[in-house]
Structure 1
């Protein structure tokens, strides 16, 4: 085994393949791209395999990685339904393609989101090691409002739990997710997944914003920013309702200088994105705040940096978020965060120091927003504290070293 390890190192390190269901724009995709970049920096030969990859809708770093596709011929849904089943089938097909048709010889696999492919990776005599990164149990991400839906999900829930337990190493993104993991997967109660916090590529955020990119920013003194995908579970309506509530707390001049940007991942192929975008515009009109709101869809990294550089605060509205990379990005950019006091933000944000943790109520969010309008120095002091916290606890160096050690342990 030692000789084999030395041979791999002489050849440039182990070959680590990532299997991911859709390499678009989101928190899970951000982590996968960062993990791939981290392992490549440590000398690993890295490939990302996915059924779907659109170079026009991805993180910029993904364009510098070896990304390959297979299994995309299978549908993502059947008449708009069965997304979970189709995702499982696509990932099984992807795993079979990599093992049987790609001509590649990976040493280890990193899977996330969909665990159905793990048994396939264990079928062959020269079985490869599998690390599974659990962002959150998939079965908790969908509602069971009918008997038919519960019946449909029952075998898929069992499959998720069973196949997750087959991984050689299981990591989660927060202590919150670790507790939910144990509560949800009863048969895996003997397992204690390790926590590997997501990190940031600091160099990307140190980019100097060009004037043409900065032009997208509304020239308002009190610019609030929300960054989240256009999905209902992100509760973006809370940001609009908080803005409406804030109006009654400000004088006419302060209100005229206030603006909210709702920036988020958007895909025309995802019907929920399309429907929710229209719903949000209707809510803004109903609340009569549409003149104070800008909807920005599928923005670039440069645009995000420009917005974070210009806003006084980030509104982070989802409840029980698994971890949430946006608060880290904001705090690194010295931008305080107002977030719901549940889930991952409890581990990333220090209440009253790097931002505010509130109940998911418009009145509480508006009260916190008012403080940044009335007390200009608050952004500077909280922003500095946020930058310090990210550098100390969520550095890319710590993430890279821990991830590499997990992969190295698997190879022994």
Structure 2
């Protein structure tokens, strides 16, 4: 990644702070934890700032003392009666940024993840700022009728403005890079770099556990299995997997009826399984 952040001398120690809105259990949190642990292993000094961290609902590295975690702004509600999520998320982000600027040390690099609202204030630190964009919130907000349309105009503008204030922008896939460019109209000339989330390979260094008979193993044994792993939350659009599965049924039926060239000798739809799995956060409405 060419973001002019890393020292010429790879042995030089840098101070790096990660800024993440909610340090729970999810793909974004896993990325932050793995990146923080990786840099710390290389000898850099790491701190993770967040607006919420529940020791009973988080990754082990954030509660066993391996990473230094600092929380500011957890007193803000997530919403009021299930509404105004983006308003309170922005308020929490701004408060977190103010706390970092006014009470914390200066860092060489600030890695801002998921929520861009802290960036303008964090620019006051004089640090190099990297923003990691998982997916523009502007493209996830759903239907915009009546007052919500007016309400979202402001926050969409804020999201675009604050995102483009980062020195370097990273995205998690080429697909997200395309959505970024089509969503943020003022981002002409800005080409986010793709940095795929890493994995901790240590989990594969040990021998696998002896396979046990489970409901899942009985379900998928001998079948073609499609897997959708997501948090159970509306914006994850799990219905898309069901819709695609339905299209697959029709397509396979056509192939087996000879709709394709010479028909199809592959598995029938009855041999295909769709497994939908993921966690659920009771705070999400």
* Alignment TM-score, normalising by the size of structure 1: 0.55
* CA apart distance, 1:215: 6.1
* CA apart distance, 1:261: 4.5
- Superposed, which structure 2 residues align to 1:115-126 within 5 Å? 115-123=116-124
Gaps of at least 5 residues in structure 2 are: 1-6, 254-267
Is 1:266 matched with 2:267? no
Counterpart contact for 1:222–1:259, Cα < 8 Å: no
3-state DSSP of counterpart to 1:203: helix
Counterpart contact for 1:172–1:196, Cα < 8 Å: yes
Partner of 1:158: 157
3-state DSSP of counterpart to 1:16: strand
Out of 78, 97, 109, the position equivalent to 1:95 is 97
* Change in 2 beyond 3 A, CA 1:260/1:185: closer
Counterpart contact for 2:233–2:284, Cα < 8 Å: no
Partner of 1:142: 141
Is 1:18 matched with 2:15? no
Is 1:183 matched with 2:213? no
Is 1:66 matched with 2:68? yes
* Alignment TM-score, normalising by the size of structure 2: 0.78
Partner of 2:4: none
Partner of 2:33: 33
Gaps of at least 5 residues in structure 1 are: 272-412
In structure 1, distance between residues paired with 2:17 and 2:132: 13
* Change in 2 beyond 3 A, CA 1:59/1:257: farther
* CA apart distance, 1:69: 1.2
Partner of 1:218: 216
- After superposition, what is the alpha-carbon deviation per residue over 1:54-86, rounded to whole angstroms, capped at 9, x for unaligned? 233223343432222111111111221111111
3-state DSSP of counterpart to 2:216: coil
Q: Which one has the bigger helix percentage?
A: 1
3-state DSSP of counterpart to 2:186: helix
Number of equivalences = 256
- After superposition, what is the alpha-carbon deviation per residue over 1:19-47, rounded to whole angstroms, capped at 9, x for unaligned? 11111222222221121122112221111
